[in-house]
Amino acid sequence: MSDLTDITDFNASELSERIHQRQVSCTEVMLAYLARIERMNPRFNAIVNLAPTDMLLAQARQCDAELASGQSRGWLHGIPQAIKDTGHAVGFPTTLGSTLLKAAMPTKDSIMTERMKAAGALVIGKTNMPELGLGSHTFNTLFGATANAWDTAVSAGGSSGGAAVALAQRLLPVADGSDFMGSLRNPAGWNHIFGMRPSQGRVPFGPGADVWVDQLGTEGPMARSVRDLARLLATQSGHDARQPLSIKGCVDVSGLQYSHHALRGLRVGWLGDLNGHLAMEDGILPVCEEALRQMQGAGAVVEPRALGFDAQALWDCWLVWRRALVGPKVAALLHMPDAQAQLKPEALWEHENSVKLSYMDFMQASQMRSAFYQHLLDVFKEVDVLALPVAQTWPFALQERWPQHIGARTMDTYHRWMECTLYATLAGLPAISLPAGFHPTHGWPMGLQLIGKPQGDVALLQVAAAYEAVRGDWLQKRPAQA
C-alpha cells in the first residue's frame, strides 16, 4: 500500500482478510501501527510499556514467512495487540498501574492472552488503567492519565480506558479489557466504540489467587465493529480447568445477522434512572432515548420499566461484595516497602472497610445477590433486554479524581457515579455498551447499556449487530484528532 497509515483505518476483520489474501504484509501492518502510536500516543497515553521496534518487526516477519509457507495462526495472524495491564503477557510487567508493581514480570500468560496469541495476535505492549483497576477514570502515578479520544481535556473512563482510546484513535484494530464495575462498558461509551461484559464465567479470568468466590470481574472484548467484538469474544471464551466455574464451550457467532431485521419485535425494558434513584447529569437520558428510538424505528418495542427491586439494598450488597473481593488484593501489597504511601487512598479505603466485614455480612450480601438474580429471571420473561445509560456523568475533567457531585446530589464514594453498571455485574449477566450519541455542545460520546438474559451473549451480540445496521455511517464518526 502506498500509505502505510491507511492500514490503521481497517477494523480487525478487514485487516485479517487483507493479510490472509496477501494484500498487505504483517510487516507493513506492524510498521503502520508503530508509526501511528509514535505520532498519537504521546497525546493520549493509551499504550504503555511498548516493546522494542526491532523485536516486534522480527515477530511480524516471522508471521509473513509462515503465511508464505501456507500456515496461519488464526484470524488475528500478525495483528498487533496490547493487553490491558490487568492481564499477564510474558515479557511485559503486569503493573496494574501501581508503582509497587512496576517491575512485576509474569512467568506465564493469562488465559485470555494465551488464547489471543494462539489466534495469531502479536503483543506489542499493555494498555493503561487506573491503579489496581479501582475507579472508572484511567490515571495512576506510574504512567499518568489517559485522555479521552474525543477531547484530551477530559477522562477516558476506565478501568479499560487505555484500550478504549487506543481503539478510537486507531492505535489498535481491536482490544481486550476487563469489567468489574463497568470497566468495559463505561470507557466504550465515552469513546464511541463497542464494549462487552460477557456472562460470568464466559471468559476465564486468571488464573488468580481465588477461583471460587472472586467471580465479579471478567475479561472481555472491545471493538469498533460488532463483527470484531463477536470474533474476539469467541476467541476469548471457553472453559479452562484452571477456572473451574468457567462456562464450557466457545460462543458460536457464525450465525449472527448484520441486519436491522433482528430488532423486529425485540422487547426492551427501559430502566432510565431507576425512577430517580440514580443521579444523572443533564442530557444523558435524552441521548440514550434517541438511541432507543432508532431501535424502535426498526421494529423494537421499547417500554419504560421499573427495576422492581430495592436499589439501595443492591447498593449496600455491592459495597460488601466489592470490599470482600478488593480488600485481600490490597492486603497482598501492604507488606511491600512504603506501600501505605504509594497506594491510592481509594485502595486503602477499600482495604480498611474489608477487614470490618464478618462472614455473616458476606453471606447476607450473597443472599441478596441471589434474590436479585431470581427476580431478574422473572423480569426476562417479559423483556428480552434491559436498557439504561452506561454512565451517570459525561466525561469529566482529566485532573479530577472522581465526580464529587451529580447536580445537587453528593457522591458518597469514589464509584457511586457508576452505580448504573452494578446490576449486570451482581447478576452475572452479559451487558454491552452501544454508542448512543454525543453531548450537544461539547461533543463527548455517551453509551447505551443493554443487559441480556443469563448466558445470552450471542443473543445480545445479535441485538448489537442489528443496532449497528440501523445506525450505519453514524457509527463511523471519528474523533477530530484522528
Q: Tell me: pLDDT of 303 over 80.
A: yes
Query: Position 324: which residue type?
Result: A
Asked whether the predicted pLDDT for residue 481 surpasses 70, the reply is no
pTM, two decimals, is 0.97
For the chain, percent of residues with pLDDT exceeding 90: 98
- In which domain, by residue range, is 383 found? 4-476
Phi, then psi, of 338 in degrees rounded to 5: 60, 25
pLDDT at 380 over 60: yes
Inform me whether the pLDDT recorded for 358 exceeds 60: yes
pLDDT tens across 147-168, in order? 999 999 999 999 999 999 999 9
Residue 134 lies in a domain: yes
Distance CA 78, CA 72 (A): 9
| pLDDT tops 60 at residue 364 | yes
- Residue 262 placed within a domain: yes
Residue 481 lies in a domain: no
Q: Give the dihedral sign, CA 426/431/437/441.
A: positive
pLDDT at residue 42 greater than cutoff 70: yes
Task: Check: CB of residue 168 under 8 Å from CB of residue 192.
Answer: yes
- Residue 313 has what pLDDT? 98
Give the count of domains, the chain. 1
Residue 390 lies in a domain: yes
Q: CB neighbours of 18 closer than 8 A, spacing ≥ 6?
A: 10, 24
Question: Distance between alpha carbon 388 and the CA centroid of its chain, in Å?
Answer: 17
What is the mean pLDDT of the segment spanning 413-430?
Answer: 98
SS3 state at 371: helix
Could you tell me the CATH number of the domain that includes residue 98? 3.90.1300.10
Asked if 207 and 219 count as a contact pair (C-beta separation under 8 A), the reply is no
SS3 state at 480: coil
Query: Do the domain assignments include residue 482?
Result: no
When pLDDT is averaged across residues 286-303 and rounded to a whole number, the result is 98
Helix, strand or coil for residue 422?
Answer: helix
Mean pLDDT to the nearest integer, 371-378: 98
Q: What is the pLDDT of residues 310-323, one digit of tens each?
A: 999 999 999 999 99
- 288: helix, strand or coil: helix
Is the pLDDT confidence value at 455 over 50?
Answer: yes
Confidence of residue 1 (pLDDT cuts 50, 70, 90): very low
Q: How far is CA 406 from CA 20, 150, 153, 287, 410, in A?
A: 50, 22, 19, 17, 7
What is the rounded average pLDDT of the residues 186-202? 98
Given a cut of 90, whether residue 137 has pLDDT beyond it is: yes
Contact 229, 464 (CB under 8 A): yes
Query: Residue 140, exposed/middle/buried by CB under 10 A (0-12, 13-18, 19+)?
Result: buried
Name the average pLDDT for the chain: 97
pLDDT in tens, 220-271: 999 999 999 999 999 999 999 999 999 999 999 999 999 999 999 999 999 9
Res 37 pLDDT > 70: yes
pLDDT band of residue 208 (cuts 50, 70, 90) is confident
> Strand order of the sheet with strand 47-48?
47-48, 122-127, 80-84
Please report whether residue 436 resides in a domain.
Answer: yes
Q: What is the pLDDT of residue 2?
A: 40
Does residue 4 carry a pLDDT above 90? no
For residues 389 and 365, is the Cβ–Cβ distance under 8 A? no
| pLDDT surpassing 70 at residue 482 | no
Whether residue 9 is predicted with pLDDT greater than 90 in this model: the reply is yes
pLDDT > 80? residue 5: no
